[in-house]
Amino acid sequence: KNQVEQSPQSLIILEGKNCTLQCNYTVSPFSNLRWYKQDTGRGPVSLTIMTFSENTKSNGRYTATLDADTKQSSLHITASQLSDSASYICVVVTDSWGKFQFGAGTQVVVTP
């Protein structure tokens, strides 16, 4: 069973609308949590990194939240653009030497 679960698996949103992606994890110990954007056929690109003590972090129209007590994170996309169409991957890093646990990703499609 994957220790990092993302939902929904996919979603379609209209350009200009907001959406929220969820990430629940059971990984322990916890070092930090990262969100990546992966365009089709490309390597992932970092959006945010959050440590245990951080509740929220923004990167432009992307805002990530973290609740380390409930082991949940979310990524909120504001005013979506066509270029936001991609897979969004949640990654939990388990220790200082970086044992990475990747979620399966949420496929976002933004339509005109």
* Site residues, other proteins (CB under 8 A): 4, 34, 41-46, 49, 89, 95-105
Shortest distance, position 14 Cβ to other proteins, whole Å: 24
Look at the block and give the residue holding tokens 């629940």: 24
Shortest distance, position 16 Cβ to other proteins, whole Å: 28
Residue 53 or 112 with smaller CB distance to other proteins: 53
Which amino acid is present at 97?
A: W
Shortest distance, position 49 Cβ to other proteins, whole Å: 7
Residue 18 or 46 with smaller CB distance to other proteins: 46
The tokens for 97 are 């030497």
Residue 69 or 83 with smaller CB distance to other proteins: 83
